[in-house]
A = this chain, B = another copy of it.
């Protein structure tokens, strides 16, 4: 009993939380209840309608099926239903007249026509572009069968068809009336909010990625959910993942939003909802770079912290400027404002140039000069992360997979050795302020190499190549960040297009309009 009580409590709590986080859900549920109540009151408690109450089922069916969360979905389903019912009624009527002509083969004709209608309608339904009308096609099939069959029985097509149609219309009218006039929920608004939210998601993912890269925060075990691309709690990961995954949600909302009449802030016939999806697509194109940068953190090949610290300030600058641009555009999307006069990308591009100049000066840090300056000499200095050399790790994984059945247990452990002793040793030697000077270069590079020597554990010939790869990984991270910034213009571009076609407010014009009225 206690267990059952706890379960009830748990359900109640989560129901309350859902209602609290999105009150529209409560309102919507109440609206459905109200619409059902209304249709019941209208039909079965009203004496004059007594003779049609046989067809009451159609009104209830229509309400339950057509009443969708957003206005757009309700309208599109209602229209589907109406068209399906009307056309099926018409065709059934024609078919009945025809089948009368065949005389005693009437039944056979009806049966065959039902088969043909079922076949053609289903086949049409499977065609990709017809998917939006799937519901209408189903209604078509049902109506056709019913009208034909009941017409055969009673010879009374018109009455069956009319009653059905009147009650469906009534149900649809109640659904639409209740849905539109009581606390309307618009799919377009949802789409707008989703696109604006995506910007925030990518911006915080970007900051999270760059910060954890610079602070050498690593996954002790990479969650297997990330490795198999499932949803996970990791904030950096879920930030961009939700953006990447929102395609289907956006498409669904778009298909509903186009049905909605002008309303609220969207006062325009044929409002360009498509452009919101386009902006979101351009944002996704940027988000893929954040994803690739996150890949550098998930990777086994990790750059030494000393080398990351050299570019610390520049990376941070680019990251914060990039996130600022994203947040600003996201905000503008939310407030439906155009961009101002100044170039929104100016700061971030300046930061990128600085980063590139820095790379230019310090690019010797990105490569391992030993093997080509002096030739191949035996390598004593080995990095600890060579413990994790690719081959060994694979065998390790394969070994385990024979004995265990759970993937979750098998997430790879990346040793954090160098993160613990490498970083503090070198940090003071490379303060961000002095790295600008060239004469410190040799010294730093020395220091960095000594810290490797101190940790020498393994000495393989290949390990050298991993050291090199790990340094190049800084270059990869940086290039990806630069490419991220290079993709921002497309985003700005598609945003400006959106602002143009959706007639966003112009902050400059508004100011100049405000000024004269102030005088």
Render A55-86 as a binary contact track against B, CB cut-off 8 A, 1 for contact: 01100110011000100000000000000000
Does residue A87 face the partner (Cβ distance < 8 Å to B)? no
Does residue A510 face the partner (Cβ distance < 8 Å to B)? no
User: Are A29 and B126 closer than 8 Å at their CB atoms?
Assistant: yes
Does residue A166 face the partner (Cβ distance < 8 Å to B)? no
Of B138, B289, B493, which one neighbours A64 at CB under 8 angstroms?
B138
Of B53, B114, B227, which one neighbours A33 at CB under 8 angstroms?
B114
- Residues from 439 to 478 in A contacting B, C-beta threshold 8 Å: 441, 462, 464-466, 468-469, 472-473, 475-476, 478
CB A79 to nearest CB in B, in angstroms, measures 19
User: Are A40 and B114 closer than 8 Å at their CB atoms?
Assistant: yes
User: Are A438 and B375 closer than 8 Å at their CB atoms?
Assistant: yes
Of B299, B402, B438, which one neighbours A372 at CB under 8 angstroms?
B438
CB A277 to nearest CB in B, in angstroms, measures 8
In Å, the complex CA distance between A7 and B480 comes to 48
Residues on B with C-beta less than 8 A from A466 are 356
User: Are A33 and B119 closer than 8 Å at their CB atoms?
Assistant: yes
Question: Smallest CB-CB separation from A479: which chain B residue?
Answer: B476
User: Are B366 and A472 closer than 8 Å at their CB atoms?
Assistant: yes
User: Are B29 and A122 closer than 8 Å at their CB atoms?
Assistant: yes
Question: Smallest CB-CB separation from A127: which chain B residue?
Answer: B18
Render A137-160 as a binary contact track against B, CB cut-off 8 A, 1 for contact: 010011001100110110000000
Render A296-310 as a binary contact track against B, CB cut-off 8 A, 1 for contact: 100111000000000
CB A359 to nearest CB in B, in angstroms, measures 6
CB A407 to nearest CB in B, in angstroms, measures 6
Stretch at the interface among A93-101, A253-261, A391-399: A391-399
Of B115, B138, B353, B483, which one neighbours A462 at CB under 8 angstroms?
B353
In Å, the complex CA distance between A469 and B485 comes to 13
CB A341 to nearest CB in B, in angstroms, measures 11
Residues on B with C-beta less than 8 A from A40 are 110-111, 114, 145, 149
Given the interface contacts A26-B123, A64-B142, A127-B14, does A360 sit within 8 Å of B356 by beta carbon? Answer: no
Residues on B with C-beta less than 8 A from A18 are 126-127
Show 18 A/B contacts (Cβ-Cβ < 8 Å), sorted by A.
Answer: A32-B119, A33-B116, A34-B118, A56-B149, A56-B150, A57-B142, A226-B285, A229-B281, A301-B483, A349-B391, A360-B468, A363-B369, A363-B371, A397-B490, A410-B493, A469-B482, A472-B475, A475-B479
A interface residue numbers (CB < 8 A to B) = 14-15, 18-19, 25-26, 28-30, 32-37, 40-41, 44-45, 53, 56-57, 60-61, 64-65, 69, 107, 110-112, 114-123, 126-127, 138, 141-142, 145-146, 149-150, 152-153, 226-230, 244-245, 247-248, 278-279, 281-282, 284-285, 288-289, 291-292, 295-296, 299-301, 343, 345, 349, 352-353, 356-357, 359-364, 366-369, 371-372, 375, 390-391, 393-395, 397-398, 401-402, 405, 407, 410, 412, 438, 441, 462, 464-466, 468-469, 472-473, 475-476, 478-480, 482-483, 485-487, 489-490, 492-494, 496-497, 500-501
**A-B complex: 3 closest residue pairs judged by Cβ atoms:** A228-B281, A33-B118, A363-B367
